Structure 1
Amino acid sequence: MTGHETPTWRDRLVEVEVGAVAHGGHCVARYEGRVIFVRHALPGELVVVRVTEDTGGSFCRGDAVEVLRASPDRVTPPCPFAGPGRCGGCDWQHASWPAQRELKAAVVAEQLHRLAGLDREVVVEALPGGPADWRTRMRMAVDPDGRPGFRAHRSHEVVPVDHCVIAVPGALDGVVDRTWPPKAELVVARDADHQTHLIEVGPPVVRRGRRPVPGPSRRRRGSGTAAEHAAGRDWRLRADGFWQVHPAAADTFARVVGEWAACRPGDRAWDLYGGVGLFASVLAGQVGPTGSVAVVESSTGAVEDGRANLADLPQVSWHAGRTEAVLATPEFAGRPPDVVVLDPPRKGAGKDVVAAVAAGRPARVVYVACDPAALARDIAAFAGHGYELAQLRAFDAFPMTHHVECVALLAPVR
């Protein structure tokens, strides 16, 4: 080590008092002038932290390995695979369910304040069913011994499991009780008709004397077509396609989107990042046969499924491609919408899409967000175009994890 290198804190044990919750499933602590992002702790606790990552900057990461003074919100994790160095799927199993929602509400409020300059009280609403037995879709990894499991936090290491407390009952039957090809990945979907669909994704096949076969191999078990029921319709879609993972989420979000979109007969609506058309089906019922709903979706598979599911709604049109590119076409740039719904991926919509939406001056923008930081950034971008946050609801669609789903209503500033 040269004289200019900073000694690493990795594996160091330090005693800290835990501060506020932060976005990402950890809390903030400080030690010797540095920030430590601590997992497996709760605000106000006194804990011993083992530093797990240290790149020498102003912060490092660590796990609480001993609790010296516990929060009253602390509970025993219901899963034996939860804890420091173990499965990284759940962040808050050591917190009571009400406390989990309070932590998520604090994160949403902090992101709105920090990134959008808004001070707003946030309440995270529970969905029916409790904190366990809710996850209908999951991706598993297989370790070198053929055992299926989940990856540790910020790691490629596979933690083998024989059950999962947040998976819907029956989802992992016949999956965790057998061995699989090493280094494969398993995509598991349990649909609304209680049918399990499994896709085994193997590593690229390499043959002696030849170049690797492009892409991983895929094997399907089950029909590969999932049945879902939401927004008063029956849906058929690819089992590995996008659908809300909580059984109550699709209906809940469709209802809120419909209430806030409030389209009138004859209106023109955009459904951006529209997936298979869940929200489009609601908008189509509002605009009626004299209106139109334009769905923009980059996944060609989702567009195919959406066209098939909404074939009875001729007022719905489908546009496959990246949202920012599609909105730049004359068909969109020259025909402003009355209402826009958007449900972007975790990174958010971004400035270009926000600008394109705001340019049409829709009366209402309904934004469905799975990441509060991205939502706050996009709300700030909308504010720059004369839109304000009119309403906000947050839902605990991912209990035990740090994830939270928000629905925001944006309207022109009066």
Structure 2
Amino acid sequence: MTPQPDRPDRRPDRRRSRQPRARAPRGASVVGRELEVEVGPVGHGGFCVARHEGRAVFVRHALPGERVVARITEGTEGDRFWRADAVSVLDASPHRVTPPCPYAGPDACGGCDLQHVALPHQRELKAAVVVEQLRRVAGLDVEVVVEEVPGDHPAGSGLGWRTRQRYARLPDGGRAMRKHRSHDLVPVEACLLESPVPARHEVRGLDYEVADGGFWQVHPGAPEVLLGAVLDALDPRPGEAALDLYAGVGLFARFLAERVGDPARVTMVEGDASASSYARQNVPGATALSGDVATVLAGLPVEPVDLVVLDPPREGARRAAVEQVVARAPRAVAHVACDPAALARDVALFAEHGYALRTLRAFDLFPMTHHVECVALLEPTPA
């Protein structure tokens, strides 16, 4: 399975595989060549980094410390790095397990990067990626623990958590998934990540209106754990003013309004017009604006706010939105991030404007894949 987003440009669980970017070849193709390599650290993107004659090789289906035979899947003689699959394991990691899905592995379904890894170690690898991105991009040394999230079936299996599932179709009408970084189809009977329980658009006893096909977290435990993390981080107080940016259908805004005591103190901004209309229904009395977050904020008066929730798409909030946020001098910003590199870039941007990372929690909302969700608290540094 290649994960898909629950609304356009929104989340990492994208079913359509991304094709390699077209580029001029830098010499003869090396696709199909096999190398024996020692596998190094985990990288950001569902692979581990090995070295061959000084060149980086990004190896899927491997684990740090293993010795494997890697078959190159993308690359030419002149490239800085090659992509490869581990097709034979010569020295196995103690964390290696047999993938539960028969379609997981080299030259097969492309979405489950980590089915060959024991679940506790999957979370350790994800934590290592978050740590490395924050160190490399934001210059921070942060301890990270990726937390298990209830809601999989069977419990504790890391399977059966996708409450919305789409399959590609074969010419004969059969089901299929796509290979990694390809549109090539792999026939499947079913995806083991598919939940036997349909999505419930309900949190803490409150129902949310959501468009058919509109964004809602795909893991059944996600809305509750993310809401709890955001509220714990911000500690909203009566009378405070709040911005909920990239607000979706108002998951966070609804409870922010409850905590501050007046929905009129909450403003939501959401790029998808349909989601924004549902947010207006879900959080009556709050302001719901539709459009690009940075552009909408630039068109509003620069008035102080106390709290900001940022829940941007995969590429992060970026400079224009961050600058609009800090211009309003919030006492606390909760940043919900589905991509560690984008989070690190945004954290670095906030640091330029005097906001420091105070706490960070990470959640395993996408078991068996390399994706991880983080909630970061940013606060202004003392003068």
Q: Provide the TM-score with structure 1 as the length reference.
A: 0.83
Which of these residues, 322, 339, 343, is aligned with residue 311 of structure 2?
343
Asked if structure 1 preserves the Cα contact closer than 8 Å seen for 2:247 and 2:270, the reply is yes
Match of 2:287 in 1: 317
Name the CA distance, whole Å, in 2 between partners of 1:5 and 1:361: 49
Distance 2:180 2:324 in 1: 37
Aligned counterparts of 1:116 and 1:262: Cα–Cα separation in 2: 25
Query: Aligned pair in 2 of structure 1 residues 5, 26: CA closer, same or farther (>3 Å)?
Result: closer
| Among candidates 169, 173, 183, match of residue 142 of structure 1 | 169
* Letter of the 1:372 counterpart: P
For structure 1, the 5+ residue unaligned runs are: 171-189, 193-227
- 2:26 and 2:79 in contact (8 A); partners too: no
Shift of the alpha carbon at 1:120? 1.1
Deviation sequence 1:284-317 (CA, Å, 0-9, x none): 0111127511000011111122222223xx1x11
1:108 corresponds to 2:81: no
Following the alignment from structure 2 to structure 1, what is the Cα–Cα distance between the partners of residues 69 and 263? 64
Partner SS state of residue 42, structure 1: coil
String of CA shifts for 1:269-297, please: whole Å, max 9, x gaps.
Answer: 00000000000011001111275110000
Matched residue, 1:187: none
**Does the aligned pair in 1 maintain the 2:48–2:60 contact within 8 Å?**
yes
Matched with 1:356 is 324
Unaligned regions of 5+ residues in structure 2, if any?
1-24
1:326 partnered with 2:296: yes
Of residues 29, 37, 48, the one that matches 2:69 is 48
Aligned to 2:367: 399
Return 62-71 or 138-147, whichever deviates more: 138-147
1:366 to 334, 358, 365: 334
> How do 1:261-272 residues align onto structure 2 when only pairs under 5 Å count?
261-272=234-245
2:346 alignment partner AA: D
Measured in 2, the distance between the counterparts of 1:292 and 1:232 equals 23
Residues 265 and 291 of structure 1 are in contact (CA less than 8 Å); yes or no, is this contact kept in structure 2? no
Shift of 1:252: 0.7
Q: Would the aligned equivalents of 2:243 and 2:266 in 1 still touch at CA under 8 Å?
A: yes
Give the 3-state SS of the residue equivalent to 1:341 in structure 2: strand
Q: 2:97 aligns with which of 67, 75, 93?
A: 75
User: CA distance change for structure 1 residues 151 and 291 in 2, over 3 Å: closer, same or farther?
Assistant: same
Name the CA distance, whole Å, in 1 between partners of 2:276 and 2:263.
23
Does 2:118 match 1:96? yes
The code of the aligned residue for 1:82 comes to: A
Aligned to 1:21: 42
The answer to whether the aligner puts 1:386 opposite 2:359 as a matched pair is no
Aligned-partner residue type, residue 278 of structure 1: L
Contact 1:273-1:323 at 8 Å conserved across structures = yes
2:193 pairs with 1:166: yes
Identical-pair percentage = 55
Report the 3-state secondary structure (helix = DSSP H, G, I; strand = E; otherwise coil) of the residue aligned with 2:209.
Answer: strand
TM-score, normalised to structure 2, is: 0.89
Partner of 2:248: 275
In structure 2, the residue matched to 1:57 is 79
Aligned to 1:248: 221
Q: Is the 1:231–1:282 contact (alpha carbons within 8 Å) kept by the matching residues of 2?
A: no
Stretch moving more, 288-297 or 6-15: 288-297
The structure 2 residue matched to 1:300, chosen from 273, 276, 297, is 273
2:143 matches 1:121: yes
Whole-angstrom CA distance in 2 between matches of 1:283 and 1:46: 51
2-structure distance, mates of 1:390, 1:232: 31
Alignment partner for residue 51 of structure 2, among 12, 30, 54?
A: 30
Per chain length, whose mean CA-contact separation is higher, i.e. which structure has more relative contact order (CA < 8 Å, sep 6+)? 2
Alpha-carbon deviations, 1:52-75, whole Å to 9, x = none?
Answer: 000431101000000000000000
Q: Distance in 2 between matches of 1:5 and 1:84?
A: 25
Range moving further from structure 2, 243-252 or 284-293: 284-293
In the TM superposition, residue 382 of structure 1 has moved relative to its aligned partner by 0.2
Displacement of 1:236 in angstroms is 2.6
Cα distance between partner residues in 2 of 1:239 and 1:403: 25
Q: Which residue of 2 aligns with 1:155?
A: 182
Q: Which has the higher strand share?
A: 1
Q: Which residue of 2 aligns with 1:6?
A: 27
Aligned residues: 352
Compute the displacement of 1:264 (Å).
Answer: 1.6
d(CA) in 2 for partners of 1:5, 1:290: 58
Distance 1:320 1:290, change over 3 A: closer
Aligned counterpart, 1:224: none
The DSSP-based 3-state class of the residue aligned with 1:389 is strand
| Matched letter for residue 350 of structure 2 | F
- Kept in 1, the 8 Å contact 2:127–2:146? The answer is yes
Q: Report the aligned-residue RMSD.
A: 1.4
Secondary structure of 2:32 counterpart: coil
